[in-house]
Amino acid sequence: MQPIGEELAIRWDDGSESFVRLETLRRACPCAGCKGEVDIMGNLYKNPDKPYAPNAFQLTRLGVVGGYGVQPLWADGHGTGIYAFDYLRRVAETAAN
């Protein structure tokens, strides 16, 4: 996995490859601050949408989390989203269509 320009290039274990725009990846951030949290009753609590900073789509670092995912750090300081590999693959497949 490596950023190339404005995309993240991913080589999956099965040998296939995906290219995901960094903007798409950031907009798909799965953290509670971005996607919200669901309580035990199924109610979704979410912050109001806010505009992205100009550097929000610039990837600063990409860390591996255990054996199940990656955690990007964005140039605007956001870094709480952990993208499980299966979620990352769904984001990549959706973006490709």
- For the domain that residue 24 is a member of, what is the CATH number? 3.30.2020.30
Edge-to-edge order in the sheet of strand 69-74 = 59-65, 69-74, 83-84
Q: How many domains does the chain have?
A: 1
Residue span of the structural domain in which 79 resides: 2-96
Per-residue pLDDT tens digits of the chain, which is 97 residues long: 899 999 999 999 999 999 999 999 999 999 998 988 988 998 888 888 889 998 999 999 999 999 999 999 999 999 999 999 999 999 999 987 7
The 3-state secondary structure of the chain, one letter per residue: CEEECCEEEEECCCCCEEEEEHHHHHHCCCCHHHHCEECCCCCEECCCCCCCCCCCCCEEEEEEECCCEEEEEECCCCCCCCEEHHHHHHHHHHHHC
Q: Is pTM, for the whole model, over 0.75?
A: yes
